[in-house]
Amino acid sequence: MRGFRQWMSDHSEITGILVFLLIVIVVGGAAYGISYAVDGGHGKKAKTTTEAGSGATTESASESTSGQASSADQTSASETQPTETAATAATTAAGGSETTAAGAAAPSLGDTINEYGVYFQLVDENVTAKIETNLRRVPSTNSDEDIIATIYNGDWIKRTGIGHNGWSRVEYNGQVLYAVTSYLSTDGSSSSEPTYQAAGDTVTAKVEVYLRSSPDSASDDNVVATLTKGTTVARTGIGSNGWSKLDYNGTEVYAVTSLLEIVQ
């Protein structure tokens, strides 16, 4: 033993190397043992975890992919649906318009239509002129340029409407024209002196009406005054010609009967 120590002392460099090798062997063995212990006791668990993790990852990936596919389907459906809905809406709208257009019934007898601000009650009857009667483009005597034709007693035309203001709507050679109602007759009678039934009431205009010196609206030259709603006059007679005889400030005047209303 003493000789061994003496030898190690004499060979200190070799001794250092041997000590270093011994340390390496011991550390290496310890590391191996620890590695073995880890692999043997916990390696399986780690592997299971890894496998489980892998499986979860795979499943998660599958779900994600499925979700993306579902989202894609929904997106496709969402993109498609509005188009179909829009088309349906357009069709419905078009159908509604067609229905409305198709469902709009043409005016029938007894209905009222508005032309040139005149309300005409629709009729279907033949009339002739009591006297020479102008047929006009519009229900107005403001201009002779609107005169399209002139009819006489015995010239029969169709009347399609009776206006609220003393005008009639007629058809002449395929045209819609207008004539003064009081100049027309349904029984073929010619103009004769109208008869007036005595009246003793007070009247006013429904809106506004001309008071004329004669029962004639062919020209405004015979307009004496204008009667407005609320202003009253005494009516002395109701004529068979559609005119009323009035007392206006002591002057005998005439107004279209249908444009007057009785004051209670």
Going along the chain from its start, the domains and CATH numbers come out as: 112-185 (2.30.30.40), 196-262 (2.30.30)
Q: Do the bridges between strand 147-151 and strand 157-163 make them parallel or antiparallel, or are there none, so unpaired?
A: unpaired
Q: Tell me which of 5 and 40 has the higher pLDDT.
A: 5
- Cα dihedral value 241, 247, 252, 253, nearest 10: -50
Q: How confident is the model at residue 219 (pLDDT cuts 50, 70, 90)?
A: confident
pLDDT at 39 (0 to 100): 57
Checking if the pLDDT of 215 tops 70, the result is yes
Tokens representing 224 are: 């004496």
Count of Cβ atoms closer than 10 Å to residue 263 Cβ: 13
The pLDDT confidence band at residue 36, using thresholds 50, 70 and 90, is: low
State percent of the chain over pLDDT 90.
Answer: 40
Q: Give the pLDDT mean for 137-148.
A: 92
Q: What confidence category does residue 1 fall into, taking pLDDT thresholds of 50, 70 and 90?
A: low
Structural tokens at position 259: 């444009």
**Phi first, then psi: what are they for 233, rounded to 5°?**
-140, 160
pTM: 0.38
Does 151 or 55 have the greater pLDDT score?
151
pLDDT band, residue 188 (cuts 50/70/90): confident
Task: Give the C-alpha separation, 112 to 120, whole Å.
Answer: 5
The CA-based diameter of the chain, rounded to the nearest angstrom, is: 177
248 versus 110: the higher-pLDDT residue is: 248
Rounded-to-5 percentages of helix, strand, coil across the chain? 40, 35, 25
- Given a cut of 90, whether residue 217 has pLDDT beyond it is no
The whole-number average pLDDT for the span 221-236 is 95
Mean residue pLDDT across the chain? 75
Do the strands 196-205 and 243-248 form a parallel or antiparallel pair, or are they unpaired? unpaired
Kindly state the average pLDDT of the residues 23-43: 64
Tens of pLDDT, residue by residue over 74-122, are 444 334 443 333 333 333 333 333 333 445 678 888 889 999 999 999 9
User: Exposed, middle or buried: residue 179 (CB in 10 Å: 0-12, 13-18, 19+)?
Assistant: buried
Name the band, by pLDDT with cuts 50, 70 and 90, for residue 158.
very high
What residues contact 178, with CB distance under 8 A and at least 6 apart? 135, 136, 137, 138, 139, 163, 167, 168, 169, 170
